[in-house]
Chains A and B, each alone.
Chain A
Amino acid sequence: MTHIAATASSPTQPAEAFPTTLAKGFVNRLVIIIPYLWLLFFFLVPFIIVFKISLSQTAISMPPYTPVLDFKDGVSGFFAGFRALNFDNYTWLTQDALYFNAYVTSLIIAAISTVLTLIVGYPIAYGMARAPATVRPTLLMLVILPFWTSFLIRVYAWIGILKPEGLLNQVLLATGLISQPLVILNTYTAIFIGIVYSYLPFMVLPLYSSLEKMDYSLVEAAEDLGCPPIGAFWKITFPLSLPGVVAGCLLVFIPAVGEFVIPDLLGGSQTLMIGKTLWNEFFSNRDWPVSSAVAVILLLVLTIPIMFFQQAQAKAQEQGR
């Protein structure tokens, strides 16, 4: 039989709940500390550095910026550096209409693409959720499968389809629907197509999971009470799928605002999006401080939707319990 160790603690001591799973103490703390420190160092600290560099000046050196807030000169040096901080890069961003336009265009493109993705994705998710239970897992796998294949490849595939001598134009010309090849590649239309296509699984999956959970007898009850099917959809199904709609839209909208590959490959040089601007500022102009400032502003713009997203995640986690 197991031996019981005698304990000396007196019964008057306030007792602490014994953790029901892992041991208290060292092991416990390591579980929290390791990922915590990793994320602090590789996720949070980099943002601080980005902010710091956005306040420095471009220099022709490696790295191409003047240091800001260095502790090398001790505390007084730190405060001297504070006075030397300059917001030139931010002033520059407001003076050059290019940046402002890029931000606004990105937000508009992302918003329109999100709505388009919702319009395309909802019927798919609805059809899947109402499909016989036996085929649902297969359909689900088919939606996820493209997500596992390379993003870059999927965008690349559209170049061959959309270009003037591409497959889409060939088909349309052959059927006689058009007489002149349509110019789609290197336009905003191509960007919309690219975003809708690439982000479709992100929209369909949350929609599907909220539609699949829904009790279909609710719709039957509404119809039984005299509501026509279309009315029942808008009054019952759609409101109940709203959590999925919100999650899907955020999953598409936020990354789409800062998208680089799609505007770069499908949008050509004529289109303007902030992710591309940042990339060019960094790789072509080698202006690290300005690209940092661009990133800081982009992050600020996205803070609110990201916080929304986190709350939605936390809520979903609560309900999962």
Chain B
Amino acid sequence: MKSLGSIRRDFAPWNDPKAKPYIQFDKVTKKFGDFTAVNNLSLTIFEREFFALLGASGCGKSTLLRMLAGFEEPSAGRILLDGQDLRGIPPYKRPVNMMFQSYALFPHMTVEKNIAFGLKQEGMPGPDIERRVAEMLKLVKLEQFAKRKPHQLSGGQRQRVALARSVAKRPKVLLLDEPLGALDKKLREETQFELMDLQQELGLTFVVVTHDQEEAMTMADRIAIMDKGEVMQVATPAEIYEAPTSRFVAHFVGNVNMFEGKVAERTASTTRITGATGAQIVVDNGGEATAGSDIVFAIRPEKIKVSSKKPADAVNALEGEVYDVAYLGDMTVYHIKLDDGQVVRASAMNASRVTEDPLTWNDRAWVSFRPDAGVVLTR
């Protein structure tokens, strides 16, 4: 069985037409004065999903999250949670909780009191609160820090208190605003996996806002790529990376080479493209492109093979010269300047310690790729 990406996903309610949506953004628009932060956006999130909103700052992803939490009210459209319209419900009456980017730990309260805060608000009896707080402290492994104040904790510990506080009430949905933004790189990677485990354990729906694509790719079941208040694509991480539907998405996630061209011939299984300078490319996935239309062929650097001689069996092979080469340890990155002037980026995993066919600056070189290595983009 073939699949995009390397993970087989069994949890995929978005492919099931009978699945009931849990969170629905229905033609939601949010304006701040003249500025449109979110523009006529519709989006569906399913129960128990780990959903990521990914985009550059100012793309409207935080506004979307804040509307779900109730800190902002949509200018138009509606937001449904479990079938109920959230309009007019203030944040303190919504069954969602948020983990803030700054953590927003109450500085005058101990870790315990911070975690108990939400439970007290809903009038839970004292002994139950104690039990729940202890449970939460155990969950985030902070039992011995219960009596400390926030400023007596390290960054990673504060992050875990914030997390414990926001899940203590067992919300229907947990919203996470750049949850790992303030942590250093190493801690961030560890915590990504911890968050995934926690989500599995609690069986909650997570909606996370992030600008870090690696974070989104690692954790999310599905990612929504946002730009200028609109959703560009909603798909699994593998689909986003391997089958972007637009130039924006292809560019936004990872590195990509783009070839401008025209569809010369279109059959059911193959599409032949003529590049702007006459190069011929044959691909087996033409998408919606029709013969004669202007398109872009996008291909990831690691799908391109670099060699000093033309590979005998290659369907697509273009000649050029090594313009730049960088050895990064786990892989080597080549910049090949093709004879038509375009520079192609290619990367090769250094699967063995010794390279058979080393290249250096100004060597003649061939780049080659399989017909299924890239995608044809019409947008």
Contacts and interface: CB of A to CB of B under 8 A. Distances in A.
Contact of B89 (A4, A11, A14, A16): A4
Interface in A1-59: 1-7, 9, 11, 14-18, 20
Contacts of B76: 11, 15
Interface string B51-87: 0000000000000000000111111111000001111
Query: What secondary structure prevails in chain B residues at the interface with A?
Result: loop
A4 B93 contact: yes
B93 A15 contact: no
Given A15-B73, A15-B75, A17-B72, A5 B87 contact: no
A11 B94 CA distance: 18
A7 B90 CA distance: 11
Size band of the A side of the interface? 10 to 19
A16 B74 CA distance: 8
B95 A18 contact: no
Contacts of B122: 2
Contact of B70 (A1, A5, A18): A18
Contacts of A2: 93-95, 122, 169
B172 interface: yes
Interface string B298-334: 0000000000000000000000000000000000000
Size band of the B side of the interface? 20 to 34
B168 to A, nearest CB: 12
A4 B95 contact: yes
B88 A7 contact: yes
B170 interface: yes
A6 B73 CA distance: 16
A5 B93 contact: yes
Contacts of A7: 85, 87-89
Contacts of A9: 87-88
B75 A14 contact: yes
Nearest to A13: B87
A1 B72 contact: no
B93 A1 contact: no
Given A2-B95, A5-B93, A11 B88 contact: no
B73 A16 contact: yes
Interface of A: 1-7, 9, 11, 14-18, 20
A-B pairs with lowest CB-CB distance, top 9: A11-B78, A7-B88, A15-B73, A18-B73, A2-B95, A9-B88, A20-B71, A9-B87, A1-B95
Interface of B: 26, 70-78, 84-91, 93-95, 122, 169-170, 172
Given A1-B95, A2-B95, 7 more contacts: A1-B169, A5-B93, A11-B76, A17-B73, A18-B72, A18-B90, A18-B91
21 contacts: A1-B95, A1-B169, A2-B94, A2-B95, A3-B93, A5-B89, A5-B93, A6-B84, A7-B85, A9-B88, A11-B26, A11-B78, A11-B85, A11-B87, A15-B73, A15-B76, A16-B73, A18-B70, A18-B90, A18-B91, A20-B71
